[in-house]
Amino acid sequence: MSSGQQVLPLQTPIPAGRARRPRWHFRLQGSDTAWAIAFVVPYTAVFVAFVAYPVVFGLWMGSRPTLYALLFSEPRYIDTLVNTMLFVCIGVNVKMFLAFVVSGFFMQRRWWVRALLVVFLLPWALPALSVFLSIHYMLVSQWGLLDSLWSAVTGADGPLFLVSRGMAMAANILAYIWKWLPFWTLIFLSARMAIPKEIYEAAAIDGATSIQQTVHVTFPLMANVYLVATLLSTLWTFGDFPTVHFVSSGAPARTTEVLATYGFREAFVFGHPELGAAAMMSALPLVIPIVILLMRRLHRTGVQL
Amino acid sequence: MTGRPANEPAMSRVVAAARNARRRHRRRLAGGIAGAALGVVLLIWTLLPVYNMVLIALNDEGDEFTGSLWPQDPSFGSFRAVWTQDHWYLENFWHQFGNSIILGVATMVLTVMIGSLASFAIGRMRLRRGQLIGDAALLTYMLPTAILIIPFVHIMHVYGLSDSLWAVISAYVAFATPYAVLILHQYGKLLPMELDECAKIDGASPVQIYLCIYLPLMTPALVAVGVYALLLAWNDYLYQFMLLSSTRNMTVAAAIDQFFDSDEAPWNYMMAVALVYSLPPIAIYFALRRFTSFDRVHT
């Protein structure tokens, strides 16, 4: 079983692979071509006006080299870079690993597991705004739920979460995992369901324990989906604004900001839009290699999202 | 002739089997307990922030909490205040809620229209170099959209759309159509091409094929894409907050930030608003849970 070439669609009913279909027997001609072009005009117009133009404009805004010299002379910016790396690397990887484990748990066919799945997916349906405000309140108030729980268990006053940089960063990452774990669990759940049962039966007959089955059957078969999901989630997490904006709000003293909130604050709170654009564009050296890797991966393996 | 000697190993086999069964049983029991423990942990982990929202919203005095784990003296005063807009901050709540609905529905309709037209042209009509559109869609889909907010604000000034719902709608349509094109393109591959060819032989125009064959057969995928667009518009915060500035044009998501910044933070109203604002996506989620296709809708 060559795991590298295994094509596992994330979406079970849609067959993967890039099989060529027979072409439209009557090649596009005359008025049909005109119609086809007319059909893609709205999409192209939206793309040019609201994606390509902003991208180019943003690159132009952040194109002066002096901006980057200014950014790198700012210790806050260096902190922000470190935070972004921590947030993305720890957040995405822990979340993906947990999603893999939890999706295995949800493969059970018991009624209470199925009922739990419905509840478990709630964070994904709830607006980020609502839940992150709630989490912020749990952390910031001395009467927050976490403090109440803490004192109910230990009898002492709870810790002040948003006073230490480490705790505030950990809170951001945990809130991020809370919000996005359900979605990726669902993705892995459908990937697990696409694995034929016979493979597990064969492994069980050969005497493989359930841990061995996970390591030698499930994981190789899901490696592709796992990698694509991780890369995609990494890209999205670079642009994750609401988590940090609401949960820690950069507290204490702007030491827990990530690039998205830092650029936002420079541009709209302190009134340096070009510096803000430069800060956000400075994520590109990290983003572009991942985009290229992911594009190649998607074209080669046909994993679909 | 009882065959006793032959029975001896059989007996020990039975004993061994019983021992194995007991061990298996014990292992299954341990597995069951571990599973139940994991279930309880997941349940608490998931519901803690939600419970916190309810707890604060049920408190009558905005900023004085006793720090208890249960709602002491629960009251629906804050929900009533939201319903009757009985607070300086809540004055425009239902108007803003309406704006949120307009925003979501407009994003949904435009995304489905533009996305289905584009995917019909590249997937069914096989427009030459249509793959370029697919690649553009994939690239946009990967883009972390928050990093575009700064140029976006400036561009909306150029387009004369500042403080207009249309600015936000066009941003969300631009971010949602790529996913629509990708999904509809994939789903469209499941429909036999012969359908289109038959219609063409019978003299149907591309518009007729699109309206009478493509759209009806694509309904499940169109629903999934529409819900995706609706939830994207409902759940995003940054673009609404930055592109809408006047109270009358604001959506609920944009307006909540005023609360966040004000000195007198009436947290119970805020949480009541947050809960009310969470109801539509939850309703959609429960309504569509039965359709497996919804499992794949991203937000």
Start-to-end Cα distance in chain A: 23
Yes or no, beta carbons of A239 and B274 under 8 Å apart: no
What is the rounded CA–CA span in Å between residue B279 and residue B286? 11
Q: Which amino acid is at A189?
A: L
What is the rounded CA–CA span in Å between residue A72 and residue A273? 17
- pLDDT under 50: residue ranges of chain A: 1-26
Which positions in chain B touch A133 (Cβ < 8 Å)?
256, 260, 270-271, 274
Residue B103: per-residue pLDDT: 95
Considering its fold, how many domains does chain B have in total? 2
Rounded (10°) CA dihedral B237, A87, A263, A244: 40
Q: Does B180 lie in the same domain as B120? A: yes
Yes or no, beta carbons of A178 and B117 under 8 Å apart: no
- CB atoms closer than 10 angstroms to residue A94: 15
> Would residue B30 count as lying in a domain?
yes
Q: Determine the 3-state secondary structure of A21 from DSSP.
A: coil
CB B267 within 8 A of CB B87: no
Yes or no, beta carbons of A127 and B186 under 8 Å apart: no
Supply the pTM of this predicted model: 0.85
Half-sphere exposure of residue A251, counting CA atoms within 13 Å on the CB side?
A: 15
What is the rounded CA–CA span in Å between residue A38 and residue A44? 10
Give the pLDDT confidence of B33-51 residue by residue, as tens digits: 888 999 999 999 999 999 9
Using CB atoms within 10 Å of the CB of residue B23, give its burial: 0 to 12 exposed, 13 to 18 middle, 19+ buried: exposed
Query: Could you write out the three-class secondary structure of chain B?
Result: CCCHHHHHHHHHHHHHHHHHHHHHHHHHHHHHHHHHHHHHHHHHHHHHHHHHHHHHHCCCCCCCCCCCCCCCCCCCHHHHHHHHCCCCCCCCHHHHHHHHHHHHHHHHHHHHHHHHHHHHHHHHCCCCCCHHHHHHHHHHHHCCHHHHHHHHHHHHHHCCCCCCHHHHHHHHHHHHHHHHHHHHHHHHCCCCHHHHHHHHHCCCCHHHHHHHHHHHHCHHHHHHHHHHHHHHHHHCCHHHHHHCCCCCCCCHHHHHHHHHHCCCCCHHHHHHHHHHHHHHHHHHHHHHCCCHHHHHCCC
The chain B residue lying nearest A157, using CA atoms, is: B67
CB A141 within 8 A of CB B65: yes
> Would residue B73 count as lying in a domain?
no
Using CB atoms within 10 Å of the CB of residue A37, give its burial: 0 to 12 exposed, 13 to 18 middle, 19+ buried: middle
From A205's Cα to the closest Cα of chain B, the distance in A is: 16
> Which CATH number belongs to the domain containing residue B136 in this structure?
1.10.3720.10
The chain A residue lying nearest B299, using CA atoms, is: A124
Q: Please, what's the largest Cα pairwise distance for chain A? A: 81
> Would residue B66 count as lying in a domain?
no
Which positions in chain B touch A123 (Cβ < 8 Å)?
46, 49
The residue among B125, B148, B235, B227 whose CA lies nearest residue B180 is B227
The pLDDT > 70 percentage for chain B reads: 89
> Would residue B170 count as lying in a domain?
yes
Q: Which two tokens stand for residue B81?
A: 């205040």
Interface of B with A in 65-84 (CB under 8 A): 65-69
**Distance set, CA B80 to CA B57, B86, B97, B240, B274 (Å):** 11, 8, 16, 26, 14
User: What single DSSP character describes residue A217?
Assistant: I
Q: Does B285 lie in the same domain as B149? A: yes
Say which residues have a Cβ less than 8 Å from residue A57's Cβ, sequence separation at least 6: B151, B154, B155
Yes or no, beta carbons of B256 and A178 under 8 Å apart: no
Residue B294: per-residue pLDDT: 40
Residue A49: per-residue pLDDT: 92
> Would residue B237 count as lying in a domain?
yes
Q: Which two tokens stand for residue A113?
A: 């597991």
Say which residues have a Cβ less than 8 Å from residue B161's Cβ, sequence separation at least 6: B167, B170, B243
- pLDDT tens for chain B, 299 residues: list them: 444 555 666 777 788 888 888 887 887 888 888 889 999 999 999 999 999 888 888 877 655 555 677 777 777 888 888 888 877 778 888 999 999 999 999 999 999 999 999 999 988 888 878 888 888 888 888 888 888 899 999 999 899 888 899 999 999 999 999 999 988 988 888 888 888 888 888 888 889 999 999 999 998 899 889 988 998 999 888 999 889 988 888 898 888 877 766 666 678 888 888 899 989 988 888 887 765 444 444 33
Which positions in chain A touch B215 (Cβ < 8 Å)?
none
What is the rounded CA–CA span in Å between residue A253 and residue A189? 41
**Distance set, CA A132 to CA A22, A247, B288 (Å):** 50, 6, 25
The residue among A131, A163, A159 whose CA lies nearest residue A242 is A131
Say which residues have a Cβ less than 8 Å from residue A60's Cβ, sequence separation at least 6: none
Q: Does B118 lie in the same domain as B33? A: no
Nearest Cβ partner of A54 from B141, B151, B282?
Answer: B151
CB B259 within 8 A of CB B270: yes
The chain B residue lying nearest A52, using CA atoms, is: B140
Yes or no, beta carbons of A21 and B193 under 8 Å apart: yes
Is the Cα dihedral A176, A179, A185, A186 positive or negative?
negative
Q: Which two tokens stand for residue B268?
A: 């119970």
The chain B residue lying nearest A44, using CA atoms, is: B133
CA angle B142/B173/A120 to nearest 5° reads 65
CB B243 within 8 A of CB B168: yes
The chain B residue lying nearest A19, using CA atoms, is: B189
User: What single DSSP character describes residue A29?
Assistant: -
B258 lies within 8 A of chain A by CB: no
> Would residue B152 count as lying in a domain?
yes
CB B253 within 8 A of CB A127: yes
Q: Does B113 lie in the same domain as B16? A: no
What is the rounded CA–CA span in Å between residue A153 and residue A147? 10
Yes or no, beta carbons of A260 and B278 under 8 Å apart: no
**Distance set, CA B248 to CA B86, B93, B144, B273, B290 (Å):** 17, 10, 29, 17, 37
Yes or no, beta carbons of A134 and B67 under 8 Å apart: no
Q: Does B163 lie in the same domain as B36? A: no
Is the Cα dihedral A158, A161, A164, A170 positive or negative?
positive
Q: How many CB pairs under 8 A join A and B?
A: 287
B128 lies within 8 A of chain A by CB: yes
Residue A8: per-residue pLDDT: 34
Half-sphere exposure of residue B114, counting CA atoms within 13 Å on the CB side?
A: 25
B288 lies within 8 A of chain A by CB: no
State which residues form the domain around B33: 1-43
Q: Does B137 lie in the same domain as B7? A: no
Which positions in chain A touch B122 (Cβ < 8 Å)?
40
When scoring A92, A134, A177, A298 by the number of chain B Cβ atoms within 10 A, the one with the most, hence best to mutate, is A134
Q: What number does CATH give the domain A70-301?
A: 1.10.3720.10
What is the rounded CA–CA span in Å between residue A54 and residue A47? 10
* Rg over CA atoms, chain B: 28
Own/partner contacts of A210-216, CB < 8 Å, gap of 24 or more, are A214/A104
Q: What is the ipTM of this complex?
A: 0.83
The full set of domain ranges for chain A reads: 27-61, 70-301
